[in-house]
Chain A
């Protein structure tokens, strides 16, 4: 039943057999997945609003565009590869391959850490070329956008660390499957966010 259909239900036409057209879900997985979807909606709101702020600030007369460090391209590749690894981790988890999960998960985490290190290095590059957030609004926004994204990736790594540890401890695959699925979704989301932010930074 579509959402509109559900909202148009004439629920006083009772009593009807309980469960008619009932849209119940079964299992804790849907709850966690729903919660992640909602959380991603919240984050979308946050990232969207930062982007809006960026665009509005750009129109002030003191704006001077900066050139983004080339390092960002390398970092992006690392993040794409991390998502690919997550994808494989998920595949392995769904097909019961714990070894596949271990290796893919670990590699994904390593690449993500590399991304974070690279982002931090990019900050350093800007500082060395004399661009400070305090004086240059473009630099301030660069650091803000990359910083917020990195912060959320770091948060994801906290969850990843728990999942990876359990994978190496010899846990049953099906008990880790949900975690891996959620991490994968989250990683893909952050990759998408990075894609949008990076494009935004490049175009301006």
Chain B
């Protein structure tokens, strides 16, 4: 039976065909529009989180100089900053933003398989963001329990937002999980079912692999957060004792008994660890494609890269308690989790080697996306290596809850993936907008961000080795913390404010270039399908009258004997490739 793509079939659900402004750009079921909606919302709320971090840094550098930053405010900032960045920015941007935009295009589909549900997922995500931001306006303000929301403190007096703020946070997370599930079902099903003819799994670009596996991780891991959120909400509202033991609250006995705070931590981190890979794996995939394109060289070891992504995804479910080494859980668990954690370092390291080996003997064009990729490699090497300290249980003992941890997770979650976000936005900007960005401004943006971010987080590790604790509003006169540490804090704050300000270059570039000069349909000479749409930027339905057919993998760059230094995926056997033997490509 001849293959007929989903979208071309005669069935009861026609592909959506919007005509009005509202249905084209607001209540849109087009994955590209939804992607932009997700991205803009995520970046907007990310800027709020950035401002919160600015205030935190001001307090740390100039303690007690600002009356509007009282201790309870500070802990609220810490909490909301963390939660927004991890979930509402990074997860939403990588999966809802990049996933939505790239998956159908890179797989040769017209759209996601369930466009209506896709649209719904964005609006539910927006609702979750609104609920979260509402917590700033309720009595008591937002929760200040840390992004990890540990009970019993999260729901007890003494922690900011323990009455209303925590409830709104938990509800917001629940709503986000609903949105994520709707989106996630779309991404996975589209990858599995809606690839165009010839697009085997192993011909998919690594961007798709990264987002695909990350989505599966999310579908299986977010339930743990939902379960713990439901149980904590019940504890806080009707007074059950899932997590609440018998405790004193401001001198008075409470009514709880027998609950286990450690149970919450197990559930939370069973979600929390895969979550960091939900952020990292799409970044890994995206950077591989951008690197290969701008180095005019196939990603080195594509199969190993895919296997590594799958292995990291699978292993990520059995390492969670490395976040709990000092939690009071059975200490013998430490043996198991330290081992699994250090095992996961191996496939991760392979990926790093392969990125660098892609550059080896490449033809490297040092354009803005490539610069950000190099920045990613450098910072990810650092962040990944510091993870080995924290994963090794006994080494974690003095470092846990210090600034070493803060430095590590910012480097691997905040710096490296964000550099990839920038690389990706610059790389696909011509595709999405049809225009070319300003290269010079982009380069300045890169240098300020890369050097600035590294100078923020490198010193933090050493403050952590000294023993400076994290989540401290101020240190007061503490004997083992010398004056120089406070001076370093001032330096870090100046770097942070500078880097934050430098992002203006990015926003200005993005907006100004919209009215700038048009770009070629494929300015970088990339092989992947999204550059092959008949319209530039792609119109609704992506491919015009007929879907593409794929003949090759995503990395035919600099193929010996070929006419150009790249061959698009939908290019059949190239006539100029006589004598090209794929088994022995270099003769």
**Which residue numbers of A lie inside 8 Å of B, CB to CB?**
6-16, 18-19, 21-28, 30-31, 34-35, 38-39, 41-43, 45-46, 49-50, 52-53, 56-57, 60-63, 133-134, 137, 140, 144, 148, 175
Contact = CB atoms under 8 A, between A and B. Distances in A.
Contacts of B263: 53, 56-57
Contacts of B571: 15
A53 B219 contact: no
A24 B113 CA distance: 14
A42 B553 contact: no
A109 to B, nearest CB: 23
B420 to A, nearest CB: 24
A8 to B, nearest CB: 7
Contacts of A7: 201-202, 303, 306-307, 310
Given A14-B553, A15-B552, A22-B199, 7 more contacts: A7-B303, A11-B552, A11-B553, A16-B551, A35-B185, A49-B224, A144-B230
Contact of A18 (B192, B198, B553): B198
Contacts of A41: 219-220
A112 to B, nearest CB: 23
B200 A60 contact: no
A49 B230 CA distance: 12
Interface in B169-194: 181, 184-186, 188-189, 192-194
Interface string B396-415: 00000000000000000000
Given A39-B185, A134-B239, A14 B552 contact: yes
A60 B240 contact: no
A12 B351 CA distance: 19
25 contacts: A7-B306, A10-B202, A10-B303, A11-B553, A12-B555, A15-B571, A18-B551, A24-B195, A25-B192, A27-B9, A28-B9, A28-B11, A34-B192, A35-B186, A38-B189, A45-B219, A45-B223, A46-B226, A49-B270, A57-B260, A60-B258, A62-B241, A133-B240, A134-B239, A134-B241
B250 interface: no
Contacts of B289: none
Contacts of B224: 45, 49
Contacts, number: 163
A91 to B, nearest CB: 23
Residue picked from A23, A35, A63, most chain B C-beta under 10 Å: A35
Chain B: interface size category = 35 or more
A15 B527 CA distance: 14
B583 interface: yes
A175 to B, nearest CB: 7
Given A38-B219, A50-B227, A137-B258, A18 B550 contact: yes
B302 A60 contact: no
Nearest to B114: A35
A194 B192 CA distance: 30
B223 A28 contact: no
Contacts of A53: 227, 231, 242, 263, 267
Residue picked from B184, B238, B242, most chain A C-beta under 10 Å: B242
Contacts of A38: 184-185, 188-189, 219
Given A34-B189, A35-B185, A62-B257, A175 B553 contact: no
A14 B585 CA distance: 11
A25 B193 contact: yes
B255 interface: yes
A12 B302 contact: yes
Interface string B230-262: 110010001111100000000000010111100
Majority secondary structure of chain B interface residues (helix, strand, loop or mixed): loop
Contacts of A49: 223-224, 227, 267, 270
Contacts of A57: 242, 258-260, 263
B205 to A, nearest CB: 11
Contacts of A35: 113-114, 185-186, 189
B12 A175 contact: yes
Contacts of A63: 258
A31 B113 contact: yes
A200 to B, nearest CB: 15
Interface string B1-13: 1011010010111
B519 interface: no
A6 to B, nearest CB: 5
Given A35-B114, A144-B231, A12 B3 contact: no
B16 interface: no
B553 to A, nearest CB: 4
Residue picked from B6, B240, B257, B298, most chain A C-beta under 10 Å: B240
B386 interface: no
Contacts of B198: 18-19, 22
B350 to A, nearest CB: 15
B367 interface: no
B266 interface: yes
Interface string B288-306: 0000000000100011001
A12 to B, nearest CB: 5
A23 B266 contact: no
A103 B555 CA distance: 56
B382 interface: no
B534 interface: no
Nearest to A140: B240
B240 A26 contact: no
Residue picked from A12, A22, A41, most chain B C-beta under 10 Å: A12
Contact of A6 (B188, B200, B573): B200
A102 B310 CA distance: 45
B108 to A, nearest CB: 11
A160 to B, nearest CB: 18
B385 interface: no
